[in-house]
Amino acid sequence: MATNYINGVASKFTTFFLICALLFSGGLCQSVPGIYTFGDSLVDVGNNNRLPLSLAKASFPHNGIDFPTGKATGRFSNGKNVADFAAEKVKLPTGPSYLSLLSKRKKLGDAPVTGVNFASGGAGIFNETCELFKQSIALAQQVEYYSLVHDQLVQKLGSTRAGTHLTKSLFIIVIGGNDLLAYFKKNSKVSKKYTPQQYVDLMASTLTQLMEKLYGMGARKFVVTGVAMVGCCPDQRKQSATSECKADANYWSAKYNDVLKTSLKNLKLESSDINYSYFDTYGAMNALIQNPQAYEIAEIKEACCGLGKLKADVPCTPISTYCSNRNDYLFWDLFHPTEKVSNIFIDLLYNGPKQFTLPMNVEQLKQSIALAQQVEYYSLVHDQLVQKLGSTRAGTHLTKSLYIIVIGGNDLLAYFKKNSKVSKKYTPQQYVDLMASTLTQLMEKLYGMGARKFVVTGVAMVGCCPDQRKQSATSECKADANYWSAKYNDVLKTSLKNLKLESSDINYSYFDTYGAMNVLIQNPQAYEIVEIKEACCGLGKLKADVPCTPISTYCSNRNDYLFWDLYHPTEKVSNIFIDLLYNGPKQFTLPMNVEQLVRL
């Protein structure tokens, strides 16, 4: 059996088995099962409602006037905030505020596996910052609260499943602005204790220490925002006779961001399995202030809701006045952006350019490791192998090893998804040509590091996965996605032939995944498959509205299904494909199958 062969010689393979890999930087493979949010009022969804002494509250009008319910919820916004939009991007509900989960005796109730929000208005990286508004939940305390949620999750799912869940979840941290406001306020105590440089250094080191604590409790994917142009909020502008930004506050905001970026890089070096997306909130706000017309913003200085100069002498309360044209404003109140601006920032954070996100955006973070990066990682394994075996033995080992590359489907899904950016940049033909050339260029890199035997699969019928079928009223395959899947496969086969002509000692087996899936769909009975459209695990139409998560339902008769979830085949179907790939006929493999490739 092919599976016995694979298991038996796996130790001899240098394997790139990349079902969830990406040729380019975008894609749709990895789902996010949970979001855990930490921070201040920019992402508070109601924790401060339950802090009786806090002066930082948004549980009254006119806050929430544009929220779906039309009522104040504790969000410091006219509507939704960053936490809401982040959850929407990954198709999850906004995590409930942690304090709302506590019983009257302060015991944690049933926390949803889709995530919890620990953020608190007025909170800071430092405990002392909470004194600004009398009572807030400092970041260290938020992390302590998370530890209780973590322990409950382990009890609920078991250690292994909880670990897997958390490694795929996003840990969002939006904090730091209040710490800087505390430093630059009149008669600040901390400004007498630290120089500005000492203070921002301590901010960054304290934050990364708390991230290390989260890492110890399963966190692997972080979304960390830098602070905005603190000196440009209405509260700071009003201190200027000409309503200009406060230069020193902005200068040290930028300095803190620089230190934070360096600290995050160092954290990644210390723990290589940490990945993060840093968002340049400062840069994004500066772009908006410098060119508000590009974002259809008219008012960048005055708050929409408040009283007094720039509506910043009194915060947004029931006695305050508020603007009717809220989408024209940068600021909702004296500190916080409008719903519209929060949405702009999340769009940039989620799939924006490197100008604002580094080393990747959130869409890339939640996905997988791009193929180019995987090849870079392989180079480290290659170098270690050479050190271990010596150059000659390592070379012999690698020439006999198999390099398995299963990739491309996500790139096509990215092209055909709604509002796709790449579809505006390339024609379909240009795109599939670029896919194939990029792949073969990376294969050449692997060749330069010893690879000689490649197993390369074409893409499947991308338009027939449940995620694509659900878009049809009759649950039919998406024709354009399938057409260009086949076209890409044609280009790839030609590219592989050319690669062989250029380097005669390269050998490969190409697997026609498209043809194999088509045969299975056209004649499922021959493979004892019953269900070819609906996923086994998920929720909604064809179980493809929500991916396979702990809250999803799943079928008991999994061997009857073609698809496990909205994108991926069941174990049974993967095994069918491997049998065809390993020793199947030329109908599906060319110029040889894997069994023949191994014998060379």
Provide the pLDDT confidence category of residue 551 given band limits of 50, 70 and 90: confident
What does the pLDDT average to over 100-129?
A: 96
Mean of pLDDT values over 21-42: 71
Please list, in sequence order, all residues whose beta carbon lies within 8 angstroms of the beta carbon of residue 112, skipping any fewer than 6 positions away.
Answer: 93, 95, 96, 551
Total Cβ atoms within 10 A of residue 396: 13
Residue 212: exposed, middle, or buried by beta-carbon count in 10 A (0-12, 13-18, 19+)?
Answer: middle
Alpha helices by DSSP H, listed for 35-193, are 82-89, 139-157, 159-168, 177-184, 190-193
The neighbour count for residue 44, using CB atoms within 10 Å, is: 33
In terms of Cβ atoms closer than 10 Å to its own Cβ (0-12, 13-18, 19+), residue 521 is middle
Q: Which amino acid is at 142?
A: Q
Nearest to 349 by CA among 134, 164, 85: 85
How far, in Å, CA of 469 to CA of 474, rounded? 8
Average pLDDT, stretch 268-281? Answer: 91
Residue 15 has a CB neighbour count (10 Å cut-off) of 14
Q: What whole-number distance in Å separates Cα of residue 565 and Cα of residue 29?
A: 11
Neighbouring-strand partners of residue 307: 314
Evaluate if residue 20 carries a pLDDT over 60: no
* Whether pLDDT at 12 is above 60: no
Rounded Cα gap, residues 218 and 227, in angstroms = 25
Dihedral class, residue 142 (left if φ above 0, else alpha if ψ from -120 to 50, else beta): alpha
- Out of 3.50.4.10, 3.40.50.1110, 3.40.50.620, 3.40.50.11540, which CATH number does the structure's domain 35-366 have? 3.40.50.1110
Least confident of 18-22, 100-104, 477-481, 482-486: 18-22
Share of the chain above pLDDT 90, in %: 84
Please give the Cα distance from 26 to 308 (Å, whole number): 46
**Where does residue 297 fall: left (phi above 0), alpha (psi -120 to 50 degrees), or beta otherwise?**
beta
| pLDDT reading at 480 higher than 50 | yes
Q: Tell whether the torsion through CA atoms of 128, 129, 130 and 132 is positive or negative.
A: positive
Please determine, for residue 22, whether its predicted confidence score (pLDDT) is greater than 50. no
User: How many CA atoms are closer than 13 Å to the CA of 535, on its beta-carbon side?
Assistant: 28
Task: Tell me how far apart the alpha carbons of residues 415 and 428 are, in angstroms, rounded to a whole number.
Answer: 8
Rounded-to-integer distance, Cα 378 and Cα 391, Å: 16
Tell me the Cα Rg of the chain.
27
Rounded to an integer, what distance in angstroms lies between the CA atom of residue 72 and that of residue 66?
9
Tokens in use for 1?
A: 């059996």
Query: What are the two backbone dihedrals, phi and then psi, of residue 39, each rounded to the nearest 5 degrees?
Result: 150, -150
- Cβ atoms of 327 and 336 within 8 Å: the answer is no
Q: Tell me the backbone φ, ψ of residue 508, rounded to 5 degrees.
A: -150, 160
Q: What is the Cβ-side half-sphere exposure of residue 293, based on CA atoms within 13 angstroms?
A: 0
Instruction: Give the separation between CA 327 and CA 340, rounded to whole angstroms.
Output: 6
Structure tokens at 348: 């940039």
Confidence of residue 421 (pLDDT cuts 50, 70, 90): confident
* pLDDT for 376: 84
CB-count exposure of residue 595 (10 Å: 0-12, 13-18, 19+): middle
**Distance between CA atoms of 573 and 524, rounded to whole angstroms?**
11
Q: Which residues have a Cβ under 8 Å from the Cβ of 488 and sit 6 or more positions away?
A: 408, 412, 432, 435, 436, 458, 459
Mean of the pLDDT values across residues 341-365? Answer: 93
Give residue 111's pLDDT: 96
Q: State the alpha helices, DSSP H only, in 217-338.
A: 234-237, 247-270, 281-290
Measure Cα distances from 464 to 122, 468, 587 in Å: 49, 6, 21
Residue spans of the domains in the chain: they are: 2-26+369-522+570-599, 35-366
Q: How far apart are CA 251 and CA 39, in angstroms?
A: 22
pLDDT of 512 > 60? The answer is: yes
Helix intervals (H) in 297-338: none
Percent of the chain with pLDDT over 70: 94
User: For residue 134, which phi and psi values (nearest 5 degrees)?
Assistant: 75, -50
* The pLDDT value given to residue 546: 84
Active site residues: 41, 333, 336
Instruction: Determine the Cα–Cα distance for residues 598 and 600; give it in Å rounded to an integer.
Output: 6
Cβ atoms of residues 70 and 150 within 8 Å: no
Three-state SS at 182 = helix
For residue 587, pLDDT over 60 is answered with yes
CA contacts within 13 A on the Cβ side of 132? 29
Over residues 364-413, the pLDDT tens digits come to 888 756 787 788 889 989 999 999 999 999 999 999 999 999 999 988 98
Cis peptide before 524 (omega within 30 of 0): no
Mean pLDDT of the chain, nearest integer: 92
Amino acid at 390: G
Given 3-state DSSP classes, what are the helix, strand and coil percentages for the chain, each rounded to the nearest 5?
Answer: 50, 15, 40
| DSSP state string for 508-531 | EEEE-HHHHHHHHHH-GGGGT--E
CB count within 10 Å of CB 274 equals: 18
Rounded to whole angstroms, the Cα distance separating 425 from 419 reads: 12
pLDDT confidence band for 352 (50 / 70 / 90): confident
Q: State both tokens at 257.
A: 């961001």
Section 326-343 average pLDDT: 98
